[in-house]
């Protein structure tokens, strides 16, 4: 079993309804079929990208035909926009694992968080201007 899925979107829901599938069933069907047809590799490095950014075009068309029993270009156009995400972590952009790094200065500690796959990062570093010595500190 792979650890990839597709990010929830209105287009995904509409396409699933059009073909009388649940959103979850369609996501699994797309990922598994694209991997089976070698349009996707199925590894974590594909997380965070649109399907169109990582697939082989000819294999993708064959996968779309298999999934929807149709060669309509609009189906590939819709699926192209879907974003592949990982199911292994909490990254809001790609679903991969987040790594925390503890930082400190002047006895104050905070966490810098970075994604192991994409460029997402965040920090709960304090606003230094509100700390003693900062211009906004009200002493």
* Residues 47-64: tens digit of each pLDDT: 888 888 877 777 888 888
H or E element at residue 12: helix 10-18
- Write out pLDDT tens, residues 91-120: 888 888 888 888 888 888 888 999 877 888
Task: Let me know: does 76 contact 96? Beta carbons within 8 Å.
Answer: no
- Tell me what pLDDT residue 139 has: 52
What is the model's pTM? 0.70
Q: Measured between alpha carbons, how far is residue 59 from residues 42, 56, 63 in Å?
A: 14, 6, 6
């Amino acid at each position: 079993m792979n650890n990839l899925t597709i990010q929830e979107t209105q287009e995904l829901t509409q396409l699933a309804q059009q073909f009388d599938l649940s959103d979850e069933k369609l996501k699994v069907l797309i990922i598994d079929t694209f991997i089976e047809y070698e349009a996707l590799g199925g590894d974590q490095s594909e997380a965070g990208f649109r399907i169109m950014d990582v697939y082989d075009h000819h294999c993708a068309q064959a996968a779309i035909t298999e999934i929807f029993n149709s060669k309509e270009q609009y189906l590939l156009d819709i699926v192209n926009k879907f974003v592949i995400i990982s199911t292994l972590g909490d990254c809001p952009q790609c679903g991969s694992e987040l790594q925390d790094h503890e930082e400190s200065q002047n006895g104050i500690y905070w966490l810098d968080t970075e994604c192991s796959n994409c460029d997402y990062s965040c920090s709960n570093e304090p606003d230094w201007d509100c700390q003693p010595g900062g211009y906004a500190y009200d002493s």
